[in-house]
Amino acid sequence: MIENPFPYTESDEKVVERIIDADVAMINHVVLPAGERLPEHYSDSNVFLTIVRGTLSMQLGDQKPHLYTKSVIQVPSRTKMNIINGADEPVEFFIVKAPHPRVYKEQE
């Protein structure tokens, strides 16, 4: 078998799980029920958020929050991020960091 499948959790409950932890990329899978949020933080690599279900509210830096559905959002490194589910249904998304933050840090 050439391919390497990486299963992830299907849920409407809160999920934050690392799917891939390789130098070329770190991929996390997140499900946030209504009203849940991730802690405010700064991006530590090139970040691509892929929203696959629901509506994600995200505030970057000093911008006003924006709403996203079924999109891929690119966030530059060192950007302050506030991610919340302000909707009534779960939001599900993948966070792709490329390269992995440990490699990105070494490249700086």
Contact 57, 65 (CB under 8 A): yes
Mean pLDDT computed over every residue of the chain: 95
Q: Each residue of 36-63: pLDDT tens digit?
A: 999 999 999 999 999 999 999 999 999 9
Residue 103: per-residue pLDDT: 84
Mean pLDDT of 8-26: 96
Region for 61 from its dihedrals, namely left if φ exceeds 0, alpha if ψ lies in -120 to 50, beta otherwise = left
Query: What pTM was computed for the model?
Result: 0.92
CATH superfamily placement of domain 15-107: Jelly Rolls (2.60.120.10)
Q: Is the pLDDT of residue 25 over 80?
A: yes
Contact 12, 31 (CB under 8 A): yes
Residue 89: per-residue pLDDT: 97
Domain locations along the chain: 15-107
